Amino acid sequence: MLDKNKVSLGIAPIGWTNDDMPDLGAENTFQQCVSEMALAGFTGCEIGNKYPTDPDELNKALKLRGMTICNSWFSSFLVTQPYEEVEKEFVAKLDFLKAVGSKVIGVSEQSYSIQGMMDQPVWEGKHVMNDDEWKLLVDGLNKLGKIAREKDMYLTFHHHMGTVVQTEEEIDRFMDSVDPEYVFLLFDSGHCTFAGIDPVKVLGKYIDRTRHIHLKDVRKEMAEKSKAERWSFLKGVRNGVFTVPGDGDVDFAPLFDIIEKSDYEGYVLVEAEQDPAVANPLEYAIKARKYIAEKTGL
């Protein structure tokens, strides 16, 4: 059982509205999204493309529902853009997140990313960084992470399909290279599984350096079809590669066991990008909430 005093439960809005494919969930409003999150029993959420950009407005809407922001995606381009440009955008997002109650910012390096290309097979053409590019990424993140800690926030890095940190080797090199005082891991069970990595191995190795956790399930049959038929990452999303915990083939029991036996404090967050016209967001949020309660006591 997970300690409710240490571990909180959140959900991402990506089941309601998709930032990369705005037609998915175009009919769903912000108010509906956060109301259904609260109705399903979640207390934390991440930020989606329909959320208010005024901190006071967002805080009011969340407070009415007993919720708070626990993280937001941030696209960094440390390998391909001047550091100063990235830092300026990072600080702006960091200050906004702090104003709406989050302790975490989730960074994904989007230089050369193929995750958002509808016609690019996700298993082909992924950029592999050279030593100079690794240095740009690591040095930049160390600087940004130091800024975050000075604001009492945590920079967590999101390994992700189609990006420069996808494989097990890349995750290991990344964690070996960054400053553990300033840069932390955003662990994602679904991206590990889809990439062919044992998520238990990764979380077990890096739980002490993890500050945010995405609980994403994978339908193995659809993941295999994605590879066989050369789907893009986005086509995989549309066709149901991902789902909520308990509805796919990821074994979450050993992951929950690792978290329970660690000193992890923070959110475990349900994230499952699906087509809301096919997978009703409230139905799947309730399904995930019930499964996690049964398995963890949260």
Average pLDDT over residues 120-138: 97
Over residues 232-249, the pLDDT tens digits come to: 999 999 999 999 999 999
Q: Nearest Cα to 94, choosing from 66, 74, 110?
A: 74
Between the CA atoms of 232, 233, 236 and 241, what dihedral angle is there, to the nearest 10 degrees? 150
Over residues 72-115, the pLDDT tens digits come to: 999 999 999 999 999 999 999 999 999 999 999 999 999 999 99
Over residues 113-127, the pLDDT tens digits come to: 999 999 999 999 999
The pLDDT value recorded for residue 268 is 98
Over residues 142-178, the pLDDT tens digits come to: 999 999 999 999 999 999 999 999 999 999 999 999 9
Contact 241, 194 (CB under 8 A): yes
The pLDDT value recorded for residue 163 is 98
* Model pTM above 0.75: yes
Task: State CA 39 to chain mean position distance.
Answer: 22
pLDDT interval class at 221 (50, 70, 90): very high
pLDDT interval class at 203 (50, 70, 90): very high
pLDDT interval class at 69 (50, 70, 90): very high
pLDDT interval class at 44 (50, 70, 90): very high
Cβ of 171: how many Cβ atoms within 10 Å? 22
The pLDDT value recorded for residue 167 is 98
The pLDDT value recorded for residue 17 is 95
Task: State CA 75 to chain mean position distance.
Answer: 12
Looking at every residue in the chain, the average pLDDT score rounds to: 97
Instruction: Say which residue the tokens 């066989």 belong to.
Output: 228
**What sections of the chain are H helices per DSSP?**
30-39, 55-64, 83-99, 131-150, 168-177, 189-194, 199-206, 220-228, 233-238, 253-261, 281-296
The pLDDT value recorded for residue 137 is 98
The pLDDT value recorded for residue 119 is 93
